[in-house]
Structure 1
Amino acid sequence: MQSVVHEVSRVIEHTSEEEAVQLSKELLRAKRIFLTGEGRSGLMGKAAAMRLMHGGFDVYVTGETITPSIAEGDLLLAISGSGTIPSIMNQVKSAKKSSSRVALVTTNPDSPIGEESDCLVTVPAATKKRLPHEPDTIQPLGNQFDQTVHLLLDTIIIYTLQHGSTLTHEEMTANHANME
Structure 2
Amino acid sequence: MRLFHLGLQVSVVGDMTTPPLGEGDLLIVSAGPGYLSRVQSLLETASAAGARTLCVTAQPDGRCPHSADHVLTIPAQIMADDSGPGLSILPMGSLFEGAQFVLFEIMVLKLRDRLGIDPEKMRRNHTNLE
TM-score (norm 1): 0.68
More helix by share: 1
3, 12, 24: which is aligned to 1:61?
12
Aligned partner of residue 176 in structure 1, secondary structure = coil
- Runs ≥4 in structure 1, deviation > 6 angstroms? none
- Alpha-carbon distance between aligned partners in 2 of 1:93 and 1:65, rounded to the nearest angstrom: 20
TM-score (norm 2): 0.92
- Alpha-carbon distance between aligned partners in 2 of 1:119 and 1:155, rounded to the nearest angstrom: 19
Report if aligned partners of 2:32, 2:56 keep a CA contact under 8 Å in 1. Answer: yes
Report if aligned partners of 2:3, 2:108 keep a CA contact under 8 Å in 1. Answer: yes
Structure number with the bigger relative contact order (C-alpha 8 A, sep ≥ 6) is: 1
Q: CA RMSD in A?
A: 1.5
Aligned partner of residue 80 in structure 2, secondary structure = coil
- Alpha-carbon distance between aligned partners in 2 of 1:77 and 1:167, rounded to the nearest angstrom: 22
- Alpha-carbon distance between aligned partners in 1 of 2:107 and 2:66, rounded to the nearest angstrom: 22
**Counterpart of 2:125 in structure 1: which amino acid?**
N
Give per-residue Cα distances to partners, 1:63-110, cap 9 Å, x unaligned. 111111111100000011012111111110011001111001101111
Report if aligned partners of 2:74, 2:96 keep a CA contact under 8 Å in 1. Answer: yes
- Which residue of 2 is the match for residue 76 of structure 1? 27
**Counterpart of 1:175 in structure 2: which amino acid?**
N
Q: How many residues align?
A: 128
Q: Percent identical across equivalent pairs?
A: 30
